[in-house]
Amino acid sequence: MMKTSISLALATAVSFVFASAAFAAPPTKTGTTAKGSVLTDAKGMTLYTFDKDSEGKSACNGPCATNWPVLKADASDKAEGGYTIISRDDGSKQWAYKGKPLYTFAKDQKAGDITGDGFLNGAWHLAQP
């Protein structure tokens, strides 16, 4: 009986560890492109950073955000590690990595595309892990 109780306690503890790890998953993945490793969204689309952003503040709003969709954060998401959540001008939330807000590029068609790298006289860059 004692052995069963200990096994049950261990199984319960292990399940809590795995459950909390699932909630702490980073908001990005790592993908491979012609220019090496990059951060991607859940669909594998390349993420970018913008030189005109300041630490924790996006300068890409309106038509810019139509061409450069933001990596949205949900109200339940929590910042962790190098990831933070910033508030946008419209009140929505956006993921940032190492202080730099993250975006996809509307003209990228498939996972691995990097057509936005260097766009706008070099102001847009691949987000690298």
Q: Is residue 15 part of a domain?
A: no
Which are the contacts of 63, defined by CB distance < 8 A and separation ≥ 6? none
What element of type H or E holds 122?
A: helix 119-122
Q: Is residue 54 part of a domain?
A: yes
pTM of the model: 0.81
Q: Is residue 58 part of a domain?
A: yes
| pLDDT digits 0-9 by tens, 99-112 | 999 999 999 999 99
The parent domain of residue 98 ranges over 29-126
Q: Is residue 23 part of a domain?
A: no
- The pLDDT of residue 3: 55
Q: Is residue 61 part of a domain?
A: yes
* Distance, CA of 53 to CA of 4 (rounded, Å): 57
At 17, the pLDDT band (50, 70, 90 cuts) reads very low
In contact, 96 and 68? CB cutoff 8 Å: no
In contact, 46 and 105? CB cutoff 8 Å: yes
The total of structural domains in the chain comes to 1
Q: Is residue 68 part of a domain?
A: yes
| pLDDT digits 0-9 by tens, 26-77 | 899 999 999 999 999 999 999 999 999 998 899 999 999 999 999 999 989 9
Angle at 114 between CA 26 and CA 61, to 5 degrees: 70
Strands 48-50, 124-126: parallel, antiparallel or unpaired by DSSP? Answer: antiparallel
Number of residues that this document lists for the chain: 129
Q: DSSP label at 39?
A: E
Strand partners, 124: 50
